[in-house]
Amino acid sequence: MKFGVVIFPGSNCDHDTTYLLDNTLGQEVVELWHKDHDLQNCDFIILPGGFSFGDYLRSGAIARFSPIMREVIAFAEKGGYVLGICNGFQILCEAGLLPGALLHNPTRKFICTNSCLKVQTADTIITSQVNPDRPLRIPVAHGEGSYYARPEILQQLNSNDQVLFRYCDTQGNFTPESNPNGSVENIAGICNQGRNVFGMMPHPERAADPALGNQDGLAVFQSILHGHDLVQS
Protein backbone atom coordinates (compact mmCIF):
# COMPACT_ATOMS: atom_id res chain seq x y z
CA MET A 1 0.00 0.00 0.00
CA LYS A 2 1.35 3.42 -0.90
CA PHE A 3 0.93 6.25 1.60
CA GLY A 4 1.51 9.95 1.06
CA VAL A 5 2.34 12.18 4.04
CA VAL A 6 1.74 15.87 3.34
CA ILE A 7 4.28 18.26 4.85
CA PHE A 8 3.38 21.89 5.51
CA PRO A 9 5.71 24.55 6.92
CA GLY A 10 5.41 23.86 10.64
CA SER A 11 4.45 20.18 10.44
CA ASN A 12 6.30 18.28 13.15
CA CYS A 13 4.76 14.80 13.21
CA ASP A 14 5.53 13.93 9.61
CA HIS A 15 8.66 11.95 10.51
CA ASP A 16 6.84 10.06 13.25
CA THR A 17 4.23 9.04 10.69
CA THR A 18 6.65 8.09 7.90
CA TYR A 19 8.82 6.12 10.35
CA LEU A 20 5.81 4.12 11.52
CA LEU A 21 4.57 3.39 8.02
CA ASP A 22 7.99 2.54 6.59
CA ASN A 23 10.05 1.00 9.40
CA THR A 24 7.33 -0.53 11.57
CA LEU A 25 4.72 -1.55 9.00
CA GLY A 26 6.94 -1.97 5.93
CA GLN A 27 4.75 0.13 3.65
CA GLU A 28 5.73 2.37 0.77
CA VAL A 29 5.52 6.01 1.83
CA VAL A 30 6.35 9.28 0.09
CA GLU A 31 6.62 12.79 1.47
CA LEU A 32 4.44 15.33 -0.32
CA TRP A 33 5.45 18.99 -0.02
CA HIS A 34 2.58 21.44 0.43
CA LYS A 35 3.40 23.18 -2.88
CA ASP A 36 3.24 19.94 -4.87
CA HIS A 37 0.49 19.31 -7.41
CA ASP A 38 0.92 15.54 -7.67
CA LEU A 39 -0.17 12.92 -5.10
CA GLN A 40 2.11 10.39 -6.84
CA ASN A 41 -0.60 7.72 -7.18
CA CYS A 42 -0.85 7.19 -3.43
CA ASP A 43 -3.59 4.96 -2.06
CA PHE A 44 -3.93 6.82 1.24
CA ILE A 45 -3.08 10.41 2.19
CA ILE A 46 -2.21 11.52 5.72
CA LEU A 47 -2.13 15.12 6.95
CA PRO A 48 0.10 14.94 10.04
CA GLY A 49 0.13 16.93 13.25
CA GLY A 50 2.10 20.06 13.94
CA PHE A 51 1.63 23.79 13.61
CA SER A 52 1.14 24.49 9.92
CA PHE A 53 2.14 28.06 9.12
CA GLY A 54 2.57 28.68 12.84
CA ASP A 55 -1.18 28.24 13.47
CA TYR A 56 -1.67 31.92 12.63
CA LEU A 57 -5.25 33.12 12.14
CA ARG A 58 -6.73 29.71 13.08
CA SER A 59 -5.08 26.32 13.13
CA GLY A 60 -5.19 24.95 9.59
CA ALA A 61 -6.73 28.10 8.11
CA ILE A 62 -3.70 28.94 5.95
CA ALA A 63 -2.66 25.37 5.15
CA ARG A 64 -6.12 24.79 3.71
CA PHE A 65 -5.06 27.03 0.77
CA SER A 66 -1.77 25.25 0.03
CA PRO A 67 -1.60 24.06 -3.60
CA ILE A 68 -1.57 20.39 -2.66
CA MET A 69 -4.92 20.74 -0.89
CA ARG A 70 -6.61 21.15 -4.27
CA GLU A 71 -5.30 17.69 -5.12
CA VAL A 72 -6.25 16.27 -1.71
CA ILE A 73 -9.80 17.63 -2.03
CA ALA A 74 -10.18 16.22 -5.54
CA PHE A 75 -8.77 12.88 -4.37
CA ALA A 76 -11.24 12.75 -1.47
CA GLU A 77 -14.18 13.73 -3.65
CA LYS A 78 -13.39 10.73 -5.86
CA GLY A 79 -13.47 8.42 -2.84
CA GLY A 80 -9.76 8.46 -1.97
CA TYR A 81 -8.81 7.85 1.66
CA VAL A 82 -7.56 10.82 3.71
CA LEU A 83 -6.66 10.90 7.42
CA GLY A 84 -5.94 14.11 9.31
CA ILE A 85 -4.28 13.82 12.71
CA CYS A 86 -4.41 16.79 15.12
CA ASN A 87 -3.40 19.74 12.91
CA GLY A 88 -4.40 17.58 9.95
CA PHE A 89 -7.89 17.25 11.44
CA GLN A 90 -8.04 21.04 11.77
CA ILE A 91 -7.01 21.45 8.13
CA LEU A 92 -9.68 19.00 6.93
CA CYS A 93 -12.36 20.96 8.81
CA GLU A 94 -11.08 24.26 7.40
CA ALA A 95 -11.14 22.73 3.91
CA GLY A 96 -14.74 21.61 4.31
CA LEU A 97 -13.89 17.92 3.96
CA LEU A 98 -15.14 17.30 7.51
CA PRO A 99 -17.95 19.11 9.36
CA GLY A 100 -17.47 21.20 12.47
CA ALA A 101 -14.46 23.07 13.83
CA LEU A 102 -11.67 22.73 16.37
CA LEU A 103 -11.79 25.56 18.92
CA HIS A 104 -9.36 26.77 21.58
CA ASN A 105 -9.18 24.54 24.63
CA PRO A 106 -11.41 26.11 27.33
CA THR A 107 -8.36 26.55 29.58
CA ARG A 108 -6.58 28.47 26.80
CA LYS A 109 -3.60 26.27 27.57
CA PHE A 110 -1.70 23.81 25.41
CA ILE A 111 -2.54 20.26 26.47
CA CYS A 112 0.09 17.51 26.18
CA THR A 113 -0.95 14.34 27.97
CA ASN A 114 -2.18 10.80 27.47
CA SER A 115 -5.90 10.47 26.84
CA CYS A 116 -8.16 7.45 26.70
CA LEU A 117 -10.36 6.83 23.66
CA LYS A 118 -13.11 4.39 22.89
CA VAL A 119 -13.93 3.47 19.32
CA GLN A 120 -17.55 4.23 18.39
CA THR A 121 -17.88 2.45 15.05
CA ALA A 122 -16.16 -0.48 13.38
CA ASP A 123 -17.57 0.51 10.00
CA THR A 124 -14.53 2.41 8.67
CA ILE A 125 -11.18 1.46 7.24
CA ILE A 126 -9.35 3.01 10.20
CA THR A 127 -11.37 1.41 13.02
CA SER A 128 -12.38 -2.05 11.80
CA GLN A 129 -9.61 -3.81 13.73
CA VAL A 130 -9.81 -1.70 16.91
CA ASN A 131 -11.25 -3.48 19.94
CA PRO A 132 -14.46 -1.56 20.79
CA ASP A 133 -14.46 -2.85 24.37
CA ARG A 134 -10.98 -1.72 25.40
CA PRO A 135 -10.10 1.96 25.79
CA LEU A 136 -6.99 3.03 23.90
CA ARG A 137 -4.34 5.17 25.56
CA ILE A 138 -3.35 7.75 22.97
CA PRO A 139 -1.52 11.05 23.59
CA VAL A 140 -2.96 14.45 22.73
CA ALA A 141 -0.91 17.61 22.09
CA HIS A 142 -2.83 20.70 21.03
CA GLY A 143 -4.02 24.17 21.91
CA GLU A 144 -7.09 24.15 19.67
CA GLY A 145 -8.56 20.71 20.04
CA SER A 146 -12.06 21.31 21.33
CA TYR A 147 -14.37 19.84 18.70
CA TYR A 148 -17.53 21.81 18.06
CA ALA A 149 -20.43 21.36 15.67
CA ARG A 150 -23.94 22.79 15.56
CA PRO A 151 -26.72 20.62 17.05
CA GLU A 152 -28.05 19.63 13.62
CA ILE A 153 -24.56 18.53 12.53
CA LEU A 154 -24.13 16.52 15.73
CA GLN A 155 -27.42 14.82 15.08
CA GLN A 156 -26.27 13.88 11.59
CA LEU A 157 -22.92 12.59 12.89
CA ASN A 158 -24.65 10.37 15.42
CA SER A 159 -27.43 9.24 13.09
CA ASN A 160 -24.97 8.35 10.31
CA ASP A 161 -22.50 6.58 12.63
CA GLN A 162 -19.78 9.10 11.78
CA VAL A 163 -18.26 9.47 15.26
CA LEU A 164 -15.02 7.46 15.28
CA PHE A 165 -13.76 7.97 18.82
CA ARG A 166 -14.86 9.55 22.08
CA TYR A 167 -12.69 10.53 25.04
CA CYS A 168 -13.32 8.26 28.01
CA ASP A 169 -11.80 7.22 31.34
CA THR A 170 -9.71 4.10 31.83
CA GLN A 171 -12.88 2.06 32.29
CA GLY A 172 -14.47 3.31 29.09
CA ASN A 173 -16.92 5.72 30.69
CA PHE A 174 -17.65 9.03 28.94
CA THR A 175 -17.27 11.63 31.67
CA PRO A 176 -16.55 15.37 31.78
CA GLU A 177 -13.34 14.61 33.65
CA SER A 178 -12.08 12.33 30.87
CA ASN A 179 -12.64 15.01 28.23
CA PRO A 180 -9.27 16.81 28.02
CA ASN A 181 -10.33 19.76 25.86
CA GLY A 182 -14.06 20.30 26.27
CA SER A 183 -15.01 18.69 22.96
CA VAL A 184 -18.77 18.47 22.48
CA GLU A 185 -20.06 15.00 23.38
CA ASN A 186 -16.47 13.94 24.17
CA ILE A 187 -15.83 13.60 20.41
CA ALA A 188 -12.20 12.83 19.57
CA GLY A 189 -12.58 11.85 15.91
CA ILE A 190 -15.10 11.79 13.07
CA CYS A 191 -15.46 10.79 9.43
CA ASN A 192 -17.40 12.18 6.49
CA GLN A 193 -20.62 10.66 5.17
CA GLY A 194 -18.68 8.87 2.43
CA ARG A 195 -16.55 7.19 5.13
CA ASN A 196 -13.30 7.92 3.30
CA VAL A 197 -12.15 11.10 5.09
CA PHE A 198 -11.16 10.83 8.75
CA GLY A 199 -10.04 13.26 11.42
CA MET A 200 -8.83 12.70 14.97
CA MET A 201 -7.12 14.94 17.51
CA PRO A 202 -5.13 12.29 19.44
CA HIS A 203 -1.86 11.02 17.93
CA PRO A 204 -1.94 7.26 17.21
CA GLU A 205 1.47 7.50 15.51
CA ARG A 206 2.95 8.48 18.88
CA ALA A 207 1.64 5.30 20.47
CA ALA A 208 2.68 2.65 17.99
CA ASP A 209 6.20 1.56 18.92
CA PRO A 210 7.43 -0.71 21.75
CA ALA A 211 10.24 1.76 22.44
CA LEU A 212 7.57 4.23 23.56
CA GLY A 213 6.01 1.74 25.94
CA ASN A 214 2.66 2.02 24.21
CA GLN A 215 1.36 0.43 21.02
CA ASP A 216 -2.35 1.20 21.37
CA GLY A 217 -2.30 3.44 18.30
CA LEU A 218 -1.00 0.66 16.06
CA ALA A 219 -4.52 -0.77 15.71
CA VAL A 220 -5.58 2.28 13.68
CA PHE A 221 -2.91 1.66 11.05
CA GLN A 222 -3.39 -2.11 11.11
CA SER A 223 -7.06 -1.47 10.36
CA ILE A 224 -6.07 0.54 7.28
CA LEU A 225 -3.86 -2.26 5.98
CA HIS A 226 -6.49 -4.89 6.73
CA GLY A 227 -9.16 -2.92 4.87
CA HIS A 228 -6.90 -2.39 1.88
CA ASP A 229 -6.06 -6.10 1.74
CA LEU A 230 -9.75 -6.96 1.72
CA VAL A 231 -10.36 -4.62 -1.21
CA GLN A 232 -7.41 -6.04 -3.12
CA SER A 233 -8.34 -9.71 -2.54
Active site residues: 86, 203, 205
Three-state secondary structure call for residue 95: coil
* DSSP-assigned letter for residue 21: I
Nearest Cα residue to 199 out of 106, 97, 130: 97
Name the burial class of residue 180, with classes exposed (0-12), middle (13-18) and buried (19+) by CB atoms within 10 angstroms of its CB.
Answer: buried
Please count the other Cβ atoms lying within 10 Å of the Cβ belonging to residue 90.
29
Beta strands in 75-196 (DSSP E): 81-85, 101-103, 111-119, 136-142, 146-148, 163-168, 187-191
